[in-house]
Amino acid sequence: MRVNLKFTNKGQVAVEKFNNEELIEIFSRYIKTLCKKYDISVTVPEDLNEQILEEGTVKVVLDKINCDMDAFFKELSRDIKVPLVKRLGTKLDNVFKTEVVEQEQSQE
């Protein structure tokens, strides 16, 4: 399954303080940490995220989903604010909204 994490207006302002590689690294690190808590496999492929700032979106690929996906992304949104707030120097509300782009069809 592919999910887009679309930045809110304030989220977009915050991520503009970073370059593409930094954003991929930050999202990958926080996702990896959360995957230890949730039974889910999520990756941030570099080839899908070559223009994060221009598109205003981080694209992630979900594999094994055995948990509440909404809870995972809600917690990721809270966690990801930490490095963004440090560099922006102001408070942030929601950083991104999730948008399911591609869902695999189950073969039953």
pLDDT at 106: 46
Residue 108 pLDDT > 70: no
2-24 pLDDT, tens digit per residue, is 999 999 998 999 999 999 999 99
In the predicted model, what is the mean pLDDT of the chain?
Answer: 91
DSSP string, the chain: -EEEEEE-HHHHHHHTTS-HHHHHHHHHHHHHHHHHHSSEEEE--GGG-TTHHHHTEEEEEEEEE-S-HHHHHHHHHHHHHHHHHHHH-S--S--EEEEEEE-PPP--
Any idea where the domains of the chain sit in the sequence? 2-89
- Predicted TM-score (pTM) of the model is 0.90
Residue 33 has pLDDT above 80, yes or no: yes
Q: What is the pLDDT of residues 66-101, one digit of tens each?
A: 999 999 999 999 999 999 999 888 888 889 999 998
